[in-house]
Amino acid sequence: MQLFCNLITISWKGTGRESSMATATGSKSSRMTLSGEFNLSAKASKALDAGASERRAKARCSQAFPTNVQGTDAAGENFEIACAVDNISSSGVYLRLPRQVASGAQLDLVIKFENGQGSGARAFLRCQVLRNEPQADGRYGLAMAISYYRFL
């Protein structure tokens, strides 16, 4: 995300209906999508990729938001665990649990997006486990795709 912020500067012109985007490699007119993402030109995408070690399609937020997770573990037992996400994006989430969960399993999460003042939005996420990584501390890191969400 820091690289993205350093390479792209947003500036609004005129009535606010047009936007332009200046990149490290030049300028290109662009439109922002409804989700707040930008449709980058091929030239701008290459400039971002040139110095980036991050290969994810969506930027991630590495804030430890409190989360409740419900699902079935690899042994077939149902569970509900309070934890915190390691990072989250508009399409995926990564967290660590003390239980092993099989790849392909479905988990339900309730995340509280705290604003640092004791309040914040809550969201329900239905996720599919893509990867299950054993950790040195005995927990399992779960990389998951978000298949459904709604704010509560």
Q: Could you report the per-residue pLDDT of 9-64, keeping only the tens digit for each?
A: 333 333 433 333 333 334 444 344 444 444 455 555 555 455 555 555 668 888 89
Confidence label for 7 from pLDDT (cuts 50, 70 and 90)? very low
Please tell me the predicted confidence (pLDDT) of residue 51: 52
Q: Which CATH number describes the domain made up of 66-151?
A: 2.30.110.10
CA separation for the pair 57, 45 (Å, rounded): 11
Name the residue ranges covered by the structural domains of the chain. Answer: 2-51, 66-151
Predicted structure pTM score = 0.62
CA distance between the termini of the chain: 27
Rounded to an integer, what distance in angstroms lies between the CA atom of residue 22 and that of residue 41?
Answer: 11
Query: Mean pLDDT, to the nearest integer, of 117-141?
Result: 93
Of the ranges 21-30, 40-49, 67-76, 106-115, which one carries the lowest mean pLDDT score? Answer: 21-30
